[in-house]
Amino acid sequence: VQNGNDVLRAVAQTVPLEDITTPKIKKVIADMQTALHGEYDGVAIAAPQIGVSLRIFVVSGKIFDEDFKRGEMKAKKKSSLPDLVFINPEFTKISKKKKWLSEGCLSVRWLYGEVERSVKASVRAYDEHGKKFERGGSDLLAHIFQHEIDHLDGILFIDKARNVEEQTKEEVEKRFKEKE
């Protein structure tokens, strides 16, 4: 779903706890993972980005891959590390220290800009099995948490970004291929 679709501007609905392990929610998560892994430059996705107004986001396991962390992961490579699923996420901690980082979005294709985000964040959520957990993150993971929870609240990165510029698909692919 691309910018302009109303689902991206709506506050997503909480998933009832009894629904977390249902086939409907399993399908939503599977559809999110298919969409995410279909985009070489995607690191996370929120349910509204596939047209579903539910409070769910998925973080690609590739961000935990050592090759990715060193900037050496091939763009098309799928990590063997599992994706993280966050259902009904909420912040439990967020650092006061912030940093401007480059950001893009699968739903605002080919626009990139800098967004000021907290450098550390912790989120409490449920996983795809209905188990409550808390996960802290710094740098990229903290950035992802904030970007994805913004999606669940109907906020796009371009609402907060500075120095927004368009890049062509070819420019972005070239940047990723230089790492291969």
Query: Which residues are marked as active site?
Result: 148
Phi, psi values for residue 95, rounded to 5°:
-70, 150
For residue 24, what are its two tokens?
Answer: 């409907």
Rounded to an integer, what distance in angstroms lies between the CA atom of residue 90 and that of residue 134? 9
Residue 140 host element (H or E): helix 140-152
Helix (H, G, I), strand (E, B) or coil at 173: helix
